[in-house]
Amino acid sequence: MGNLIGRGKEINRLNKVLNEKEAQLVIIYGRRRVGKTFLVNQFFENKFDFKFTGAYDRSKQEQLKNFTLELNHQTNQHNPVPKDWTDAFFMLRSYLEKKDPDEKQIVFFDEMPWMDTQLSGFLPAFEWFWNSWGNSRDNLIFVVCGSSTSWLVDNFDHNKGGLFNRSTCRIFLNPFNLYETEKYLNSRDIYWSRYDITVCYMIMGGIPYYLRLLDRELSLNENIDMIFFGKRAELWDEFNQLFNTLFKNSEHYIHIVEALSKIKSGLERSEIAEATKLPSNGDLTSMLSNLEQSGFIRINARFGNKSRGKTYQLADYFTMFYFRFVRDNHGKDEHFWSNTTDNPTRNSWQGLTFEQVCKDHISQIKKKLGISGILSTVSAWSKKGNNTETGAQIDMLIDRRDHVISLCEDKFSTQQYEITKEYDGSLKNKVAVFRESTGTKKTIQVVMVTTYGIKPNKYSNYVGRSIQLDDLFEKEDT
Protein backbone atom coordinates (compact mmCIF):
# COMPACT_ATOMS: atom_id res chain seq x y z
CA MET A 1 0.00 0.00 0.00
CA GLY A 2 3.03 2.24 -0.26
CA ASN A 3 1.61 4.05 -3.31
CA LEU A 4 -1.63 5.11 -1.59
CA ILE A 5 -2.02 8.78 -0.70
CA GLY A 6 -4.52 9.44 2.09
CA ARG A 7 -7.45 7.00 2.19
CA GLY A 8 -6.84 6.39 5.89
CA LYS A 9 -10.51 5.81 6.75
CA GLU A 10 -10.98 3.46 3.83
CA ILE A 11 -7.85 1.47 4.71
CA ASN A 12 -9.01 1.12 8.31
CA ARG A 13 -12.39 -0.12 7.15
CA LEU A 14 -10.88 -2.65 4.72
CA ASN A 15 -8.55 -3.91 7.43
CA LYS A 16 -11.61 -4.68 9.55
CA VAL A 17 -13.07 -6.56 6.59
CA LEU A 18 -9.93 -8.73 6.43
CA ASN A 19 -10.25 -9.58 10.10
CA GLU A 20 -13.93 -10.55 10.01
CA LYS A 21 -14.75 -14.23 10.41
CA GLU A 22 -17.82 -14.22 8.15
CA ALA A 23 -18.27 -13.77 4.40
CA GLN A 24 -17.90 -10.15 3.33
CA LEU A 25 -19.67 -8.38 0.46
CA VAL A 26 -17.90 -5.05 0.02
CA ILE A 27 -19.44 -2.30 -2.12
CA ILE A 28 -17.21 0.60 -3.16
CA TYR A 29 -18.89 3.64 -4.72
CA GLY A 30 -17.52 6.86 -6.10
CA ARG A 31 -17.27 9.21 -9.03
CA ARG A 32 -15.52 7.95 -12.13
CA ARG A 33 -11.74 8.66 -12.06
CA VAL A 34 -11.68 9.00 -8.25
CA GLY A 35 -9.42 5.99 -7.71
CA LYS A 36 -11.69 3.13 -6.62
CA THR A 37 -9.87 0.46 -8.65
CA PHE A 38 -6.48 1.80 -7.56
CA LEU A 39 -7.51 1.62 -3.89
CA VAL A 40 -8.63 -2.01 -4.19
CA ASN A 41 -5.60 -3.06 -6.22
CA GLN A 42 -3.17 -1.39 -3.83
CA PHE A 43 -4.83 -2.54 -0.62
CA PHE A 44 -4.97 -6.17 -1.72
CA GLU A 45 -1.60 -5.82 -3.50
CA ASN A 46 -3.17 -7.13 -6.72
CA LYS A 47 -3.44 -10.56 -5.13
CA PHE A 48 -6.91 -11.73 -6.08
CA ASP A 49 -8.23 -15.23 -6.37
CA PHE A 50 -10.30 -13.87 -9.25
CA LYS A 51 -10.69 -10.44 -10.78
CA PHE A 52 -13.02 -9.42 -13.57
CA THR A 53 -13.76 -6.01 -15.08
CA GLY A 54 -16.96 -5.24 -16.95
CA ALA A 55 -16.75 -3.65 -20.39
CA TYR A 56 -18.74 -0.52 -21.22
CA ASP A 57 -21.59 -0.89 -23.72
CA ARG A 58 -20.83 -4.50 -24.61
CA SER A 59 -23.33 -7.32 -25.09
CA LYS A 60 -24.05 -10.11 -22.66
CA GLN A 61 -22.19 -12.56 -24.88
CA GLU A 62 -19.09 -10.36 -25.03
CA GLN A 63 -19.12 -9.94 -21.24
CA LEU A 64 -19.42 -13.70 -20.76
CA LYS A 65 -16.59 -14.31 -23.19
CA ASN A 66 -14.35 -11.89 -21.31
CA PHE A 67 -15.32 -13.51 -18.01
CA THR A 68 -14.40 -16.95 -19.33
CA LEU A 69 -11.07 -15.76 -20.71
CA GLU A 70 -10.15 -14.32 -17.30
CA LEU A 71 -11.24 -17.45 -15.45
CA ASN A 72 -9.38 -19.74 -17.87
CA HIS A 73 -6.27 -17.60 -17.52
CA GLN A 74 -6.50 -17.83 -13.73
CA THR A 75 -7.13 -21.60 -13.66
CA ASN A 76 -5.09 -22.72 -16.68
CA GLN A 77 -8.20 -24.49 -17.91
CA HIS A 78 -10.21 -24.32 -21.14
CA ASN A 79 -13.79 -23.80 -20.02
CA PRO A 80 -16.24 -23.05 -22.82
CA VAL A 81 -18.14 -19.77 -22.79
CA PRO A 82 -21.28 -20.35 -20.65
CA LYS A 83 -24.72 -19.70 -22.06
CA ASP A 84 -25.74 -17.37 -19.23
CA TRP A 85 -24.54 -15.70 -16.04
CA THR A 86 -25.93 -18.46 -13.81
CA ASP A 87 -23.55 -20.93 -15.47
CA ALA A 88 -20.75 -18.40 -15.25
CA PHE A 89 -21.15 -17.97 -11.50
CA PHE A 90 -21.32 -21.73 -11.05
CA MET A 91 -17.98 -21.96 -12.87
CA LEU A 92 -16.57 -19.39 -10.44
CA ARG A 93 -18.00 -21.30 -7.48
CA SER A 94 -16.46 -24.57 -8.67
CA TYR A 95 -13.08 -22.90 -9.04
CA LEU A 96 -13.16 -21.32 -5.57
CA GLU A 97 -14.27 -24.58 -3.90
CA LYS A 98 -11.06 -26.23 -5.06
CA LYS A 99 -8.91 -23.67 -3.24
CA ASP A 100 -7.76 -23.86 0.38
CA PRO A 101 -10.83 -23.15 2.57
CA ASP A 102 -8.59 -21.95 5.41
CA GLU A 103 -7.15 -19.11 3.34
CA LYS A 104 -8.94 -15.82 2.64
CA GLN A 105 -10.32 -15.76 -0.88
CA ILE A 106 -10.56 -12.33 -2.54
CA VAL A 107 -12.83 -11.86 -5.56
CA PHE A 108 -12.99 -8.44 -7.23
CA PHE A 109 -15.66 -7.45 -9.75
CA ASP A 110 -14.76 -4.01 -11.13
CA GLU A 111 -17.36 -1.93 -13.02
CA MET A 112 -20.09 -4.38 -12.12
CA PRO A 113 -22.86 -2.05 -13.43
CA TRP A 114 -21.51 -2.53 -16.95
CA MET A 115 -22.01 -6.28 -16.66
CA ASP A 116 -25.74 -5.84 -16.08
CA THR A 117 -26.72 -5.30 -19.70
CA GLN A 118 -30.35 -5.33 -20.82
CA LEU A 119 -32.03 -8.74 -20.44
CA SER A 120 -28.69 -10.26 -19.40
CA GLY A 121 -29.99 -11.87 -16.22
CA PHE A 122 -26.78 -10.82 -14.48
CA LEU A 123 -28.26 -9.51 -11.23
CA PRO A 124 -30.55 -12.51 -10.52
CA ALA A 125 -27.58 -14.80 -11.21
CA PHE A 126 -25.39 -12.87 -8.78
CA GLU A 127 -28.17 -12.95 -6.16
CA TRP A 128 -28.37 -16.73 -6.54
CA PHE A 129 -24.59 -17.10 -6.32
CA TRP A 130 -24.30 -15.00 -3.17
CA ASN A 131 -27.37 -16.24 -1.32
CA SER A 132 -27.00 -19.93 -2.15
CA TRP A 133 -23.25 -20.17 -1.64
CA GLY A 134 -21.16 -17.03 -1.21
CA ASN A 135 -22.54 -15.69 2.06
CA SER A 136 -21.91 -19.02 3.79
CA ARG A 137 -18.19 -19.02 2.91
CA ASP A 138 -16.53 -17.55 5.99
CA ASN A 139 -13.27 -17.05 4.11
CA LEU A 140 -14.76 -15.19 1.12
CA ILE A 141 -14.36 -11.45 0.52
CA PHE A 142 -16.26 -10.32 -2.57
CA VAL A 143 -15.48 -6.74 -3.59
CA VAL A 144 -17.85 -4.93 -5.95
CA CYS A 145 -16.85 -1.64 -7.55
CA GLY A 146 -18.45 0.71 -10.04
CA SER A 147 -18.63 4.30 -11.19
CA SER A 148 -22.40 4.14 -11.68
CA THR A 149 -23.20 4.91 -8.08
CA SER A 150 -26.92 5.02 -8.81
CA TRP A 151 -26.86 1.39 -10.05
CA LEU A 152 -25.02 0.23 -6.93
CA VAL A 153 -27.36 2.13 -4.62
CA ASP A 154 -30.48 0.86 -6.38
CA ASN A 155 -29.35 -2.76 -6.57
CA PHE A 156 -27.65 -3.11 -3.20
CA ASP A 157 -28.69 -0.38 -0.75
CA HIS A 158 -32.29 -0.16 -2.00
CA ASN A 159 -32.67 -3.73 -3.20
CA LYS A 160 -36.04 -5.21 -2.21
CA GLY A 161 -35.22 -8.73 -3.36
CA GLY A 162 -32.46 -11.24 -2.82
CA LEU A 163 -29.72 -8.68 -2.15
CA PHE A 164 -31.63 -6.73 0.48
CA ASN A 165 -29.29 -5.93 3.38
CA ARG A 166 -26.64 -8.32 2.04
CA SER A 167 -23.65 -5.96 1.79
CA THR A 168 -21.45 -6.02 4.88
CA CYS A 169 -19.30 -3.00 4.07
CA ARG A 170 -20.07 0.12 2.06
CA ILE A 171 -17.37 2.64 1.19
CA PHE A 172 -18.00 5.88 -0.68
CA LEU A 173 -14.67 7.08 -2.02
CA ASN A 174 -14.46 10.86 -2.01
CA PRO A 175 -12.02 12.93 -4.08
CA PHE A 176 -8.84 14.07 -2.37
CA ASN A 177 -9.07 17.08 -0.09
CA LEU A 178 -6.46 19.85 -0.23
CA TYR A 179 -4.12 18.07 2.19
CA GLU A 180 -4.21 14.88 0.12
CA THR A 181 -3.92 16.80 -3.15
CA GLU A 182 -0.74 18.48 -1.93
CA LYS A 183 0.67 15.11 -0.81
CA TYR A 184 -0.18 13.56 -4.16
CA LEU A 185 1.45 16.39 -6.12
CA ASN A 186 4.55 16.22 -3.93
CA SER A 187 4.76 12.47 -4.56
CA ARG A 188 5.02 13.35 -8.26
CA ASP A 189 7.72 15.97 -7.59
CA ILE A 190 5.33 18.89 -8.11
CA TYR A 191 5.95 21.55 -5.49
CA TRP A 192 3.61 24.49 -5.97
CA SER A 193 2.46 27.19 -3.61
CA ARG A 194 -0.74 26.44 -1.74
CA TYR A 195 -2.37 29.27 -3.66
CA ASP A 196 -1.61 27.51 -6.97
CA ILE A 197 -2.64 24.12 -5.56
CA THR A 198 -5.98 25.62 -4.55
CA VAL A 199 -6.52 27.07 -8.04
CA CYS A 200 -5.66 23.65 -9.47
CA TYR A 201 -8.16 22.13 -7.04
CA MET A 202 -10.84 24.54 -8.23
CA ILE A 203 -10.32 23.21 -11.76
CA MET A 204 -9.80 19.47 -11.26
CA GLY A 205 -11.08 18.86 -7.77
CA GLY A 206 -9.24 16.12 -5.92
CA ILE A 207 -9.59 13.63 -8.78
CA PRO A 208 -6.36 11.57 -8.95
CA TYR A 209 -6.77 10.71 -12.64
CA TYR A 210 -6.84 14.39 -13.59
CA LEU A 211 -4.01 15.33 -11.23
CA ARG A 212 -1.87 12.58 -12.75
CA LEU A 213 -1.91 14.45 -16.06
CA LEU A 214 0.02 17.40 -14.62
CA ASP A 215 3.56 17.85 -15.91
CA ARG A 216 6.09 18.76 -13.22
CA GLU A 217 8.17 20.72 -15.72
CA LEU A 218 5.34 23.12 -16.60
CA SER A 219 3.72 25.90 -14.63
CA LEU A 220 0.11 25.61 -13.49
CA ASN A 221 -1.12 27.86 -16.32
CA GLU A 222 0.86 25.90 -18.92
CA ASN A 223 -0.55 22.64 -17.57
CA ILE A 224 -4.14 23.84 -17.77
CA ASP A 225 -3.59 25.01 -21.35
CA MET A 226 -2.09 21.65 -22.29
CA ILE A 227 -4.77 19.53 -20.59
CA PHE A 228 -7.88 21.53 -21.49
CA PHE A 229 -7.41 24.06 -24.29
CA GLY A 230 -5.09 22.60 -26.87
CA LYS A 231 -6.53 20.85 -29.90
CA ARG A 232 -7.28 17.25 -28.96
CA ALA A 233 -6.08 18.03 -25.44
CA GLU A 234 -5.96 15.29 -22.81
CA LEU A 235 -9.41 16.10 -21.43
CA TRP A 236 -11.01 17.62 -24.52
CA ASP A 237 -13.80 15.02 -24.60
CA GLU A 238 -13.84 14.02 -20.94
CA PHE A 239 -17.13 15.73 -20.08
CA ASN A 240 -19.24 13.84 -22.60
CA GLN A 241 -17.51 10.55 -21.85
CA LEU A 242 -18.05 11.08 -18.16
CA PHE A 243 -21.81 11.56 -18.40
CA ASN A 244 -22.42 9.11 -21.24
CA THR A 245 -20.78 6.26 -19.35
CA LEU A 246 -22.43 7.04 -16.01
CA PHE A 247 -26.04 7.78 -16.87
CA LYS A 248 -28.71 6.54 -19.22
CA ASN A 249 -30.45 9.48 -20.93
CA SER A 250 -27.27 11.43 -20.24
CA GLU A 251 -28.56 14.46 -22.15
CA HIS A 252 -31.13 15.05 -19.38
CA TYR A 253 -28.43 14.92 -16.72
CA ILE A 254 -26.33 17.35 -18.75
CA HIS A 255 -29.28 19.77 -18.97
CA ILE A 256 -29.56 19.68 -15.17
CA VAL A 257 -25.90 20.34 -14.41
CA GLU A 258 -25.77 23.03 -17.10
CA ALA A 259 -28.70 24.83 -15.46
CA LEU A 260 -27.02 24.56 -12.07
CA SER A 261 -23.73 25.87 -13.48
CA LYS A 262 -25.40 29.21 -14.19
CA ILE A 263 -26.58 29.87 -10.63
CA LYS A 264 -23.79 29.61 -8.11
CA SER A 265 -26.05 29.44 -5.05
CA GLY A 266 -28.11 26.60 -6.54
CA LEU A 267 -31.70 26.05 -7.63
CA GLU A 268 -34.77 24.61 -6.02
CA ARG A 269 -36.37 21.56 -7.62
CA SER A 270 -39.14 23.57 -9.28
CA GLU A 271 -36.56 26.00 -10.68
CA ILE A 272 -34.56 23.11 -12.16
CA ALA A 273 -37.68 21.78 -13.86
CA GLU A 274 -38.43 25.22 -15.28
CA ALA A 275 -34.86 25.83 -16.47
CA THR A 276 -34.46 22.41 -18.12
CA LYS A 277 -38.06 21.96 -19.35
CA LEU A 278 -37.96 18.49 -17.79
CA PRO A 279 -41.23 17.25 -16.25
CA SER A 280 -41.35 17.69 -12.49
CA ASN A 281 -42.06 14.04 -11.79
CA GLY A 282 -40.43 10.95 -10.35
CA ASP A 283 -37.87 10.80 -13.15
CA LEU A 284 -36.52 14.23 -12.17
CA THR A 285 -36.38 13.14 -8.54
CA SER A 286 -34.42 10.04 -9.56
CA MET A 287 -31.97 12.03 -11.70
CA LEU A 288 -31.31 14.53 -8.93
CA SER A 289 -30.76 11.66 -6.51
CA ASN A 290 -28.35 9.95 -8.91
CA LEU A 291 -26.36 13.15 -9.40
CA GLU A 292 -26.18 13.71 -5.66
CA GLN A 293 -25.14 10.12 -4.93
CA SER A 294 -22.42 10.37 -7.60
CA GLY A 295 -20.99 13.54 -6.07
CA PHE A 296 -21.87 15.92 -8.91
CA ILE A 297 -24.32 18.03 -6.94
CA ARG A 298 -24.89 18.77 -3.26
CA ILE A 299 -28.10 19.52 -1.42
CA ASN A 300 -27.94 22.68 0.65
CA ALA A 301 -30.21 22.65 3.65
CA ARG A 302 -31.92 25.86 4.68
CA PHE A 303 -31.25 27.29 8.12
CA GLY A 304 -33.63 25.75 10.63
CA ASN A 305 -33.61 22.34 8.85
CA LYS A 306 -36.66 23.19 6.82
CA SER A 307 -37.21 20.58 4.14
CA ARG A 308 -38.95 23.05 1.88
CA GLY A 309 -36.75 25.46 0.01
CA LYS A 310 -33.67 23.21 -0.10
CA THR A 311 -31.45 23.92 -3.07
CA TYR A 312 -29.39 21.76 -5.39
CA GLN A 313 -25.92 23.11 -6.13
CA LEU A 314 -23.33 21.95 -8.65
CA ALA A 315 -20.43 20.56 -6.63
CA ASP A 316 -18.11 18.86 -9.14
CA TYR A 317 -15.20 21.18 -9.88
CA PHE A 318 -14.37 19.71 -13.27
CA THR A 319 -17.98 20.13 -14.43
CA MET A 320 -18.11 23.72 -13.16
CA PHE A 321 -14.87 24.54 -14.95
CA TYR A 322 -16.04 22.87 -18.14
CA PHE A 323 -19.18 24.98 -18.42
CA ARG A 324 -17.47 28.20 -17.34
CA PHE A 325 -14.41 28.03 -19.60
CA VAL A 326 -13.80 24.86 -21.60
CA ARG A 327 -16.97 24.24 -23.57
CA ASP A 328 -16.90 27.51 -25.52
CA ASN A 329 -13.11 28.01 -25.67
CA HIS A 330 -11.61 24.59 -26.39
CA GLY A 331 -9.43 24.61 -29.51
CA LYS A 332 -9.74 28.36 -30.12
CA ASP A 333 -6.65 29.50 -28.23
CA GLU A 334 -4.12 26.92 -27.09
CA HIS A 335 -2.85 29.42 -24.51
CA PHE A 336 -6.28 30.54 -23.32
CA TRP A 337 -5.59 30.07 -19.62
CA SER A 338 -2.19 31.75 -19.69
CA ASN A 339 -3.64 34.68 -21.63
CA THR A 340 -6.47 35.34 -19.15
CA THR A 341 -4.50 35.63 -15.92
CA ASP A 342 -6.02 39.00 -14.99
CA ASN A 343 -9.38 38.46 -16.65
CA PRO A 344 -12.28 39.71 -14.42
CA THR A 345 -14.33 36.62 -15.33
CA ARG A 346 -11.55 34.38 -14.08
CA ASN A 347 -11.18 36.38 -10.85
CA SER A 348 -14.93 36.17 -10.27
CA TRP A 349 -14.88 32.42 -10.90
CA GLN A 350 -12.08 31.96 -8.35
CA GLY A 351 -14.00 33.88 -5.72
CA LEU A 352 -17.18 31.89 -6.24
CA THR A 353 -15.44 28.52 -6.47
CA PHE A 354 -13.47 29.19 -3.27
CA GLU A 355 -16.81 29.12 -1.47
CA GLN A 356 -17.22 25.54 -2.70
CA VAL A 357 -13.71 24.69 -1.49
CA CYS A 358 -14.63 25.95 1.96
CA LYS A 359 -17.81 23.82 2.01
CA ASP A 360 -15.75 20.76 1.10
CA HIS A 361 -13.37 21.52 3.98
CA ILE A 362 -15.90 22.20 6.69
CA SER A 363 -14.19 19.73 9.04
CA GLN A 364 -10.95 21.75 8.80
CA ILE A 365 -12.88 24.96 9.47
CA LYS A 366 -14.57 23.44 12.52
CA LYS A 367 -11.20 22.19 13.75
CA LYS A 368 -9.71 25.67 13.50
CA LEU A 369 -12.73 27.12 15.32
CA GLY A 370 -12.23 24.53 18.06
CA ILE A 371 -15.70 23.05 17.64
CA SER A 372 -14.92 19.63 16.15
CA GLY A 373 -16.46 17.95 19.18
CA ILE A 374 -19.52 20.19 19.32
CA LEU A 375 -22.69 19.08 17.57
CA SER A 376 -23.38 21.46 14.72
CA THR A 377 -25.27 21.71 11.43
CA VAL A 378 -24.19 23.47 8.25
CA SER A 379 -26.79 25.31 6.19
CA ALA A 380 -27.44 28.30 3.95
CA TRP A 381 -29.87 31.17 4.34
CA SER A 382 -31.24 33.98 2.21
CA LYS A 383 -33.94 36.62 2.29
CA LYS A 384 -35.09 38.51 -0.77
CA GLY A 385 -35.29 42.25 -0.46
CA ASN A 386 -38.15 44.47 -1.57
CA ASN A 387 -39.07 48.14 -1.64
CA THR A 388 -39.25 48.37 2.15
CA GLU A 389 -36.83 45.69 3.37
CA THR A 390 -33.19 44.92 2.66
CA GLY A 391 -32.32 41.41 1.51
CA ALA A 392 -29.30 39.31 2.41
CA GLN A 393 -27.70 35.98 1.56
CA ILE A 394 -25.40 33.76 3.63
CA ASP A 395 -23.89 30.77 1.86
CA MET A 396 -22.56 28.97 4.92
CA LEU A 397 -23.82 29.01 8.49
CA ILE A 398 -22.57 26.72 11.24
CA ASP A 399 -25.34 26.40 13.81
CA ARG A 400 -23.69 25.11 16.98
CA ARG A 401 -25.05 23.38 20.09
CA ASP A 402 -23.08 25.84 22.25
CA HIS A 403 -25.61 28.55 21.27
CA VAL A 404 -23.31 30.21 18.74
CA ILE A 405 -23.93 30.61 15.01
CA SER A 406 -20.79 31.05 12.92
CA LEU A 407 -21.55 33.14 9.85
CA CYS A 408 -18.82 32.30 7.32
CA GLU A 409 -17.60 34.66 4.61
CA ASP A 410 -15.09 33.29 2.07
CA LYS A 411 -12.69 35.53 0.15
CA PHE A 412 -9.98 34.38 -2.27
CA SER A 413 -7.30 36.96 -3.06
CA THR A 414 -3.61 37.25 -3.86
CA GLN A 415 -2.83 39.15 -0.65
CA GLN A 416 -4.28 39.95 2.75
CA TYR A 417 -7.96 40.78 2.42
CA GLU A 418 -8.81 44.37 3.30
CA ILE A 419 -12.24 45.05 4.75
CA THR A 420 -13.52 48.33 3.32
CA LYS A 421 -16.17 50.61 4.73
CA GLU A 422 -18.66 49.29 2.17
CA TYR A 423 -17.95 45.63 2.97
CA ASP A 424 -18.09 46.33 6.68
CA GLY A 425 -21.57 47.76 6.15
CA SER A 426 -22.58 44.72 4.11
CA LEU A 427 -21.43 42.33 6.83
CA LYS A 428 -23.31 44.18 9.53
CA ASN A 429 -26.41 44.28 7.33
CA LYS A 430 -26.27 40.49 6.85
CA VAL A 431 -26.09 39.92 10.58
CA ALA A 432 -28.93 42.37 11.30
CA VAL A 433 -31.26 40.99 8.62
CA PHE A 434 -30.50 37.42 9.62
CA ARG A 435 -31.17 38.06 13.31
CA GLU A 436 -34.37 39.96 12.65
CA SER A 437 -35.72 37.46 10.09
CA THR A 438 -34.93 34.30 12.05
CA GLY A 439 -35.54 35.67 15.53
CA THR A 440 -32.48 33.81 16.79
CA LYS A 441 -31.21 34.61 20.27
CA LYS A 442 -27.89 32.89 19.73
CA THR A 443 -24.57 34.69 19.58
CA ILE A 444 -23.55 35.38 15.97
CA GLN A 445 -19.85 35.04 15.24
CA VAL A 446 -18.53 36.42 11.96
CA VAL A 447 -15.86 34.12 10.50
CA MET A 448 -13.68 35.15 7.56
CA VAL A 449 -11.98 32.43 5.51
CA THR A 450 -9.32 34.08 3.36
CA THR A 451 -6.17 33.21 1.48
CA TYR A 452 -3.64 35.13 3.55
CA GLY A 453 -5.64 36.54 6.43
CA ILE A 454 -7.23 39.93 7.06
CA LYS A 455 -5.34 43.21 6.82
CA PRO A 456 -5.70 45.02 10.14
CA ASN A 457 -7.62 48.31 9.92
CA LYS A 458 -10.45 50.08 11.71
CA TYR A 459 -13.03 47.68 10.24
CA SER A 460 -11.28 44.35 10.82
CA ASN A 461 -12.23 44.04 14.50
CA TYR A 462 -15.82 43.19 13.58
CA VAL A 463 -14.61 39.78 12.42
CA GLY A 464 -14.71 37.30 15.28
CA ARG A 465 -12.42 34.62 13.85
CA SER A 466 -10.04 34.52 10.90
CA ILE A 467 -9.17 31.32 9.03
CA GLN A 468 -6.47 31.20 6.37
CA LEU A 469 -5.80 28.95 3.41
CA ASP A 470 -3.13 27.01 5.31
CA ASP A 471 -5.81 25.92 7.79
CA LEU A 472 -7.74 24.21 4.99
CA PHE A 473 -4.65 22.11 4.23
CA GLU A 474 -4.75 20.50 7.67
CA LYS A 475 -4.94 16.72 7.72
CA GLU A 476 -8.41 15.43 8.45
CA ASP A 477 -8.76 13.20 11.49
CA THR A 478 -9.27 9.53 10.62
Q: Please say if the pLDDT value at position 164 is more than 80.
A: no
346 and 200 in one domain? yes
CATH number at residue 314: 1.10.10.10
* Span 321-336, pLDDT tens digits: 999 999 988 778 899 9
pTM across the whole model: 0.93
For residue 251, tell me if it sits in a domain: yes
138 and 68 in one domain? yes
Residue that finishes a domain, picked among 299, 322, 345: 322
What is the C-alpha to C-alpha distance for residues 177 and 175, in angstroms, rounded to an integer?
6
Q: Measuring CA to CA, which residue among 241, 237, 281, 274 is closest to residue 256?
A: 274
The mean predicted confidence, pLDDT, of the chain is 93
Residue that finishes a domain, picked among 122, 151, 172: 172
Q: Please say if the pLDDT value at position 438 is more than 80.
A: yes
306 and 268 in one domain? yes
Looking at residue 81, what DSSP letter applies? P
Higher-confidence residue of 386 and 75: namely 75
381 and 308 in one domain? no
Are the C-beta atoms of residues 55 and 63 closer than 8 Å to each other?
Answer: yes
59 and 195 in one domain? no
For residue 189, tell me if it sits in a domain: yes
Q: Give the number of other Cβ atoms within 10 Å of residue 421's Cβ.
A: 10
Q: In 3-state terms, what secondary structure has residue 32?
A: coil
314 and 400 in one domain? no
168 and 122 in one domain? yes
Q: Please say if the pLDDT value at position 307 is more than 70.
A: no
For residue 3, tell me if it sits in a domain: no
For residue 1, tell me if it sits in a domain: no
CATH number at residue 463: 3.40.1350.10
Residue range of the domain that includes 288: 239-322
* pLDDT for residue 132: 95
For residue 400, tell me if it sits in a domain: yes
For residue 197, tell me if it sits in a domain: yes
* Span 165-175, pLDDT tens digits: 788 999 999 99
The answer to which of 14-23, 297-306, 368-377 has the lowest mean pLDDT is 297-306
Are the C-beta atoms of residues 82 and 68 closer than 8 Å to each other?
Answer: yes
Residue that finishes a domain, picked among 147, 172, 197: 172
For residue 478, tell me if it sits in a domain: no
CA dihedral 317, 411, 298, 336 (to 10 degrees): -20
Number of domains in the chain: 4
422 and 367 in one domain? yes
439 and 372 in one domain? yes
Instruction: Place 230 in a pLDDT band, splitting at 50, 70 and 90.
Output: confident
Q: Measuring CA to CA, which residue among 227, 182, 174, 221 is closest to residue 201?
A: 182
352 and 203 in one domain? yes
CATH number at residue 55: 3.40.50.300
274 and 248 in one domain? yes
What is the C-alpha to C-alpha distance for residues 59 and 10, in angstroms, rounded to an integer?
33
246 and 230 in one domain? no
- pLDDT exceeding 90 applies to what percent of the chain? 82
For residue 430, tell me if it sits in a domain: yes
* Span 345-400, pLDDT tens digits: 999 999 999 999 999 999 999 999 999 999 999 998 888 877 667 788 898 999 99
